[in-house]
Structure 1
Amino acid sequence: MNNKELAISLVKADTEKEIINILKKEGYWDNSDVWQLYGGKENNFATIGNQKSRAEDALVEKIVNSVDAVLMAECLKRGVKTDSPEAPTSIADALEKFYKVDNGKLSNITPNERTKLAENIALVSTGAKSNPCYSIIDKGEGQTPNRLPDTILSIDKNNKLRTPFVQGKFNMGGTAVLRFCGRENLQLIISKRNPDIKIQEELDDSVNCWGITVVRRENPPQGVRSSIYKFLAPDNKILRFESESLKLMPGIYPNAYQNDLSFGTFIKLYEYQMTGLKTNILFDLNYKLALLMPSIALPIRLYERRKGYKGHTLETTLSGLSVRLDEDKKENLESGFPVSGPITALGQKMRASIFAFKRGRSTNYTRDEGIIFVINGQTHGTLSKSFFTRNAVRHSYIADSLLVVVDCSELDGRSREDLFLNSRDRLASGELRSQIERELEILLREHKGLNQLRERRRREDIEDKLEDSKPLADVIENILKKSPTLSKLFIKGVRLPNPFNIASSKSEEKFKGKRFPTFFTLIKEYPEGSPKDCPRNVRFRVQYKTDAENDYFDRDNDPGKFSLYVNGTEVENKQINPWNGFINLNVLLPENAKVGDILCFESKVEDVSQIEPFVSKFFIKVTDIEKKNNSSTKTSRKKSSTKNRGNDSENTSHLDLPNVIEVFKKDKNWISKGFENETALHVFEDGQGGYDFFINMNNIHLLSEQKSNGNIDSKLLNARYKYGMVLIGIALLKEYNDKIERSIEETNNEIGNIFTHIKYTTKVLSPILLPMIGSLGSLKLDDVESSLEPEIN
């Protein structure tokens, strides 16, 4: 075969076996002289093998490189070098200049315009349903055969480091995908330089040629510890050929290679190990990629071209999570969301956007991801939804409905290294991460809109079930009287708490904010003669009242600006949380603040409509450091009032009797709480330090025991099961609360997963609980003594 025929045969192959046979026939596969070191490094496995831990994250790297290639091509076509002062200064700037996208947001153009734009980049699925191949194709700058070793086949080159309008700047060449490409880690690369690019740094005699190469992984040679990645380049030159175009673009289903590609880059990943995401590319993988690229710079066209699929169309446009959420806002998001605002940690500025989904709507967007950390539109790390169930957040009722996107694009280089591992898919432990998590905890816990949503959801779930739970108090009280050991689970006795915050239960008038506020004032004044007390080790909060829209400080066009000064110096470490006319301002005192100091704070709110800003002044008195109570759990502390719950100082040293709600298959809670046949108990924190227990009265093991044990009344079995599970749940919560009281060090994940721990523990115990109660209850002393007698020979 000539090189063009070789290229086409490799393109159409869909298994590693086919690739190996083709290369063997051409005399390449077994000839070590025609394979060159990837990146020019003999130990390249140390870099290539130490990246993404999941196949979908690695695939994102390739897609991002294609996006960058298209953007860079648009710049170079205009005769502007990508790192020159004339180049766009950001991704948003590039989208405005090159494609007339307002504010650089894809949601500001129509779906048809996005589809047209997506013709520049394609992701195509071919091969077997169970073992697919993925091709990434872009009509970007393309590379000449001579340039390939220094661009796509390079590692640690500074090709895009000084280009401000691209997403990928980690200089890994998209090598993260290699470990997921079948057994031999095979990857095909075909590329041709865009002829409209006239800028050439040096003469290149291959500028009109297609370059073709294959990447593979070789086992460690004798005496070497690691594998080696190499690429095909006989005589140390990339194979090449001339052709106006190649049939590399997909056509009508199921044709994968029907239309022409005249320039750009074609990359094929063989037998890609996409665990759990091998279904029709339009569904699971599409949703996952949208989450991993929430603000992708350019849309991508997805093509399903594996045989055996049916549908009106087997292609779609991927525009990122932000576009999906914006288009589906009314149908899927709660009213008033999303909301966003700045957070600051160790002097580094970020922006957090909070999305609250309607019941059951979040599953189309996320799975267990609760918080995603984004740089230049690409996800680099996540925290699970268990974050929202932490004691410092208390949003277990709405945990499955929340998603927070933290934009970390403004972090400096060192902070990025401190926050993200080199794999760029996980967070690193350290001071910066801890401080960011702390800021997020405060933001979420004190957000008025989230608190209202949590209370509304809870009311909907338990309001009509409370009458059934009231007799439980009497039963538990009798059990405790008979068992001093069990009574120790309750420090302050048995009582059924008020299940609702009466103040928040009142219906509120629908808020209609104004684009530009007419007032912005403090709700409570703190003059110099009567300052607000604040310990040095905690934040203080003040509240404002306004008629501004919720997105006043965060919208794209004509946003408002909030500035805060202390004794004339601007304060960076602050949070402002607008919600329906109320603004919560959370502030950390300056590090040099001393006990007894009275600090003067002045806030300014300004926008393009104002001649003079809204100015408010208040005073803070610095008090002594608030000490944590490390006494044992036997010493109870005064319980905070409802209105103060959620502050840093709030802790309880007892467990109120939980509200217990019975759940049956016909109930709405069966689906909304994720119940299954073997589920026993789900626990939710009510947001005020109490707990709601949802117990499965159609548990398969309970029903089985009722059917097989006719000697015992089913009501008694139900009671044993219910009260037994409740006591188990209380015991687990008690241990959890005791650890917090004693300030025992635990990871946040361990603390956040207490409800998951209860869920699985009670599920495991449910098959043995009733048989154990019955068997042990009927056990006699003679039975015990006889079992302990030694055998007599």
Structure 2
Amino acid sequence: MLAACSAEDVAAILADEDLSYDFNQPENWKPYGNREKNWDTVGNQQSSPVGALTELITNGIDAILLRKAREHGITDFRSPEAPQSMFEAVKRYFPHVVEGKISNLSAKQRTDLAEKCLLVGVKRAARVNSIYPTYTVVDFGDGQKPEDFPKTFLSLSEKNKEGIPFVQGKFNMGSTGSLRFCTRSDIRLGHYKFIISKRPDCDYWGWTLIRVRGPKPGEQLPVAEYFSPGMVPRFRDEVMSAFGRHDLGQVESGTIIKLYEFDIGHGAYTVDFGLRDALDVNLIDCALPIRTYDFDAKPQETKGPLRAAGIAASTFSGLSVTVGASEIPDDGENNVDEGDNQQANEGSWTHHVATINEPDLGRIKILAIGIKKMKDSLASRQTARVFYTVNGQTQACERSSFLNSRANYGDLRNHLLVNVVCDDMDKSAMATIFMPDRERKANNKMARMLEEMVIEALKLDEKLRAFANEIRLSRAKEYTSEKEESADLLKDLAKADPAIKELFGLGVLLPEITKTPGGVKVWDQGKKFPTFIEPLNLKKENDRYVKDIPINGYRRIECGTDAEDGYLSRKDSPGTPWSSLDIKALAWKASLRSGTATFTITAPANAVEGDTIDAEFGFTDEGANPEPLKFAVTIRFIAEEKTNVNPKSPPTKTKEDEKKNLGMPHFEWVGKTEWSEHGFDEQSGAYVSSGEETNVYINRDNRFLELMRVSERDEAERTIKESMFKLGLGIFALSIHRKATEKAKEENYDGTDPEEFVKLATGAMAAHIITVIRHLGAGVRK
């Protein structure tokens, strides 16, 4: 079974004349989870094959941490003596990993660690252009005794890891999600999955084969079952060779899982980089690194003995490491790491946006990763820009349109990744918001509250606004002449048709785009560990700071500090916002920028005028401030703020005001070389990016426009038709975007995605836009 590489290979083993008798006995196959009716659970896991594979990998990391805890004398994994988080477990059991973050290791150190923890082998069946790799996942973790297989590997809804704070698994169902994607996602081929495992203190290896059979007469659904002739089969052996090589994958104890011809999905099946690129958006921060071996790589004699043998070896440590990784030259040894031989993410940085403490949600930390030039594999994957993570694993994510339509950062849709760290979220809130498949959020009030908190924090962040302006400025320099020509024509159109003028109201007038962004302080000072934090906007009463907060509002406390800007977001010894209050007592958030720490405090719903709360706020870290660096304040609730019930009449608009309100959109061509950045292909038409200014991006190399260029010999006519395509499709995109955005707001953004809707509509219209404009124009002239 370890040597098998396809569904046909497994079928041949089962049909072998020496083995077929046992495999053909129905009583030797037991229902998975001891449930005759189990497909409603087994088949209702992850919809994404990459997510299902990620579950197996995180289960392997769990097994390694459990083994280490056992070896260090922890007998009760749920006790206070056990690590209280995954990263604490890594810090305790792998002392060389500073602060339990593998991002603090060098590339070589991560590779050395990965080879001792978790391996993934990739091999494809011997057929032309195979898109179904067979994956062998190896962990050097706790393993299982053969007699324990039914209540661990082969169980459903058991509480094996529930309540253990330093592992990821909670529901005891995630690993079954991989079954439906095995054997080319074809149930007729069996959905085979092979497991072999051994506990370090056990003499026997246990193994079983899992399959999914079709429903028998009287059954409505398929049934997942495993091979167990009386008991789970067992045997003695010192070492198992997971990959069939003496120099790789030699396993003395732990677990080996094999997924035959796994339907991993488009792009992810490619040799060498496919798996790593696929894992990027599912594992933002890995607790432990993963070593991958693709056995189908093209041999290259100059890249060491493995690559000469056609094996591409690399180390994956999570998206945050991939994004920040430097290019590592291949020196012929087995230390290829993140970023090697792939397009790097140029000019990346990590920024702490805010740490938010909300009584109902718990603590949320928002980190932004800015990228000057995003690598193609990420840029082309428009479905993932904002990640909600727990222990580094994605629980749900937001599309690039979330940044565009809701956070008003259209300019950053391919320059920004956001990690919403939910490790310290309230457990009830976490269960309410995130679905067990770790792919999506529920559509409920609490999930929407989280979204709005993230949107507000992003919108208010000064550094992100400056970054958006920087990206907009750099892009503007490339299109200045085209924009001027388009703007003149658009102004003429606006004069001719008031409806178009109203449509252009989507935009907002900005300072001249050619001007350098202003008003942003450059803070190149600050210390790694701050030495003071002093309130700037508080008054003192009886020698104590006091802050008045309306019972229906919030107030900010600004403090001077000598903390460097990266203090709250860096990988090495980051600081943490701190308060003396219980998280249920008061909602507050903290941010740091240019020597100013801002603590925003919101009055609770049950606040009563005249009540006070004594509190302390500040920072703590594992460097100079193990004890909080803090200040004390008395929070006093005052009468609610009154809204103006008789607002003044709006001033009369002048012609200059009307001119300013005409936020002229910029119509920009997107060439084939930029398709990945905009999520385009040859069929794509256009879409609208709505940030502080409105940009409409039109596909210059749309296949129908290309056909026109080939067939139209007259250069002047060709130029006119290109302008018709650009402006006609652009105005069409603006109109649809406006209506789709209104619809999305009505639906609380549950369903209609304005950006995708516009792309779909303009893609369909691209084939006809020139003809429509030509014929309508001719009709008007007649």
> What's the offset of the Cα at 1:704?
5.6
Structure 2 CA distance for partners of 1:587 and 1:700, relative to 1, 3 Å: same
Unaligned runs of 5+ in 2: 184-188, 328-338
Q: Measure, in 2, the Cα distance between the counterparts of 1:679 and 1:151.
A: 48
What is the 5 A alignment of 1:349-368?
Answer: 349-361=363-375, 363=377, 367-368=381-382
Structure 2 CA distance for partners of 1:669 and 1:35, relative to 1, 3 Å: closer
2:450 alignment partner in structure 1: 436
**Aligned AA for 1:261?**
V
Of 190, 200, 216 in structure 1, the residue corresponding to residue 196 of structure 2 is 190
Between 1:155-164 and 1:691-700, the stretch displaced more is 691-700
Q: Measure, in 2, the Cα distance between the counterparts of 1:501 and 1:562.
A: 42
Of 512, 529, 532 in structure 1, the residue corresponding to residue 525 of structure 2 is 512
Q: Measure, in 1, the Cα distance between the counterparts of 2:123 and 2:514.
A: 56
Q: Measure, in 2, the Cα distance between the counterparts of 1:747 and 1:728.
A: 24
**Aligned AA for 2:689?**
F
- 1:93 lines up with 2:88 in the alignment: yes
> What's the offset of the Cα at 1:221?
2.3
Of 564, 581, 592 in structure 2, the residue corresponding to residue 549 of structure 1 is 564
Q: Measure, in 2, the Cα distance between the counterparts of 1:598 and 1:746.
A: 39
RMSD between aligned residues? 4.3
Are the aligned partners of 2:367 and 2:418 in contact in 1 as well (CA < 8 Å)?
yes
> What's the offset of the Cα at 1:496?
7.2
**Aligned AA for 1:407?**
V
Of 684, 688, 702 in structure 1, the residue corresponding to residue 689 of structure 2 is 684
Structure 2 CA distance for partners of 1:396 and 1:543, relative to 1, 3 Å: farther
Q: Measure, in 1, the Cα distance between the counterparts of 2:260 and 2:629.
A: 63
1:791 alignment partner in structure 2: none
2:238 alignment partner in structure 1: 244
Are the aligned partners of 2:536 and 2:560 in contact in 1 as well (CA < 8 Å)?
yes
- 1:658 lines up with 2:664 in the alignment: yes
Between 1:115-124 and 1:325-334, the stretch displaced more is 325-334
Structure 2 CA distance for partners of 1:32 and 1:60, relative to 1, 3 Å: same
Q: Measure, in 2, the Cα distance between the counterparts of 1:499 and 1:69.
A: 57
Q: Measure, in 2, the Cα distance between the counterparts of 1:117 and 1:526.
A: 53
> What's the offset of the Cα at 1:59?
1.3
2:771 alignment partner in structure 1: 771
Give 3-state SS (helix, strand or coil) of 1:53's partner: coil
Give 3-state SS (helix, strand or coil) of 1:146's partner: helix
1:3 alignment partner in structure 2: none
> What's the offset of the Cα at 1:458?
0.7
Q: TM-score, normalised by structure 1?
A: 0.79
Structure 2 CA distance for partners of 1:382 and 1:532, relative to 1, 3 Å: same
2:164 alignment partner in structure 1: 163
Q: Measure, in 1, the Cα distance between the counterparts of 2:638 and 2:536.
A: 18
Of 100, 104, 107 in structure 2, the residue corresponding to residue 108 of structure 1 is 104
Give 3-state SS (helix, strand or coil) of 1:354's partner: strand
Give 3-state SS (helix, strand or coil) of 1:776's partner: helix
2:604 alignment partner in structure 1: 590
Q: Measure, in 2, the Cα distance between the counterparts of 1:703 and 1:267.
A: 49
Unaligned runs of 5+ in 1: 1-9, 196-206, 630-634, 640-651, 784-793
**Aligned AA for 2:469?**
E
Give 3-state SS (helix, strand or coil) of 1:358's partner: coil
**Aligned AA for 1:107?**
S
Structure 2 CA distance for partners of 1:116 and 1:32, relative to 1, 3 Å: same
Are the aligned partners of 1:371 and 1:403 in contact in 2 as well (CA < 8 Å)?
yes
In terms of Rg, which structure is larger? 1
1:321 alignment partner in structure 2: 319
1:732 alignment partner in structure 2: 736
**Aligned AA for 1:576?**
A
**Aligned AA for 1:339?**
H
Are the aligned partners of 1:682 and 1:693 in contact in 2 as well (CA < 8 Å)?
yes
Q: TM-score, normalised by structure 2?
A: 0.80
Are the aligned partners of 2:549 and 2:635 in contact in 1 as well (CA < 8 Å)?
no
Give 3-state SS (helix, strand or coil) of 1:214's partner: strand
What is the 5 A alignment of 1:64-143?
Answer: 64-83=58-77, 84-100=79-95, 101-119=97-115, 120-128=117-125, 129-143=130-144
2:49 alignment partner in structure 1: 55
> What's the offset of the Cα at 1:757?
3.7
> What's the offset of the Cα at 1:420?
1.6
Q: Measure, in 2, the Cα distance between the counterparts of 1:453 and 1:461.
A: 12
2:712 alignment partner in structure 1: 708
User: Any idea what the Cα deviations from partners look like across 1:164-183, whole Å, max 9, x if unmatched?
Assistant: 32222222272221121113
> What's the offset of the Cα at 1:669?
7.6
**Aligned AA for 1:731?**
S
1:342 alignment partner in structure 2: 355
Give 3-state SS (helix, strand or coil) of 2:69's partner: helix
Give 3-state SS (helix, strand or coil) of 2:747's partner: coil
> What's the offset of the Cα at 1:398?
0.8
Q: Measure, in 1, the Cα distance between the counterparts of 2:695 and 2:181.
A: 44
Are the aligned partners of 1:244 and 1:262 in contact in 2 as well (CA < 8 Å)?
yes
- 1:275 lines up with 2:265 in the alignment: yes
Of 373, 379, 387 in structure 1, the residue corresponding to residue 402 of structure 2 is 387
Are the aligned partners of 1:540 and 1:587 in contact in 2 as well (CA < 8 Å)?
yes
Structure 2 CA distance for partners of 1:670 and 1:533, relative to 1, 3 Å: farther
Q: Measure, in 2, the Cα distance between the counterparts of 1:53 and 1:317.
A: 26
Matched residues, number? 726
User: Any idea what the Cα deviations from partners look like across 1:305-345, whole Å, max 9, x if unmatched?
Assistant: 24766573322222222333454499746465232542245
> What's the offset of the Cα at 1:452?
0.4
Structure 2 CA distance for partners of 1:417 and 1:30, relative to 1, 3 Å: same
Are the aligned partners of 2:379 and 2:678 in contact in 1 as well (CA < 8 Å)?
no
1:642 alignment partner in structure 2: none
Q: Measure, in 2, the Cα distance between the counterparts of 1:118 and 1:628.
A: 64
**Aligned AA for 2:778?**
S
Of 365, 378, 391 in structure 1, the residue corresponding to residue 393 of structure 2 is 378
Of 408, 419, 432 in structure 2, the residue corresponding to residue 418 of structure 1 is 432
> What's the offset of the Cα at 1:445?
0.7
Between 1:293-302 and 1:448-457, the stretch displaced more is 293-302
**Aligned AA for 1:190?**
I
User: Any idea what the Cα deviations from partners look like across 1:139-185, whole Å, max 9, x if unmatched?
Assistant: 32222222222222222222222433222222227222112111311
> What's the offset of the Cα at 1:423?
2.1
Q: Measure, in 2, the Cα distance between the counterparts of 1:214 and 1:719.
A: 62
User: Any idea what the Cα deviations from partners look like across 1:733-784, whole Å, max 9, x if unmatched?
Assistant: 55467669xxx61332667x43444444344333322322222233389x9x
Are the aligned partners of 1:490 and 1:654 in contact in 2 as well (CA < 8 Å)?
no
2:2 alignment partner in structure 1: 11
1:203 alignment partner in structure 2: none
1:644 alignment partner in structure 2: none
**Aligned AA for 1:96?**
K
Give 3-state SS (helix, strand or coil) of 2:293's partner: strand
**Aligned AA for 2:8?**
K
Structure 2 CA distance for partners of 1:112 and 1:611, relative to 1, 3 Å: closer
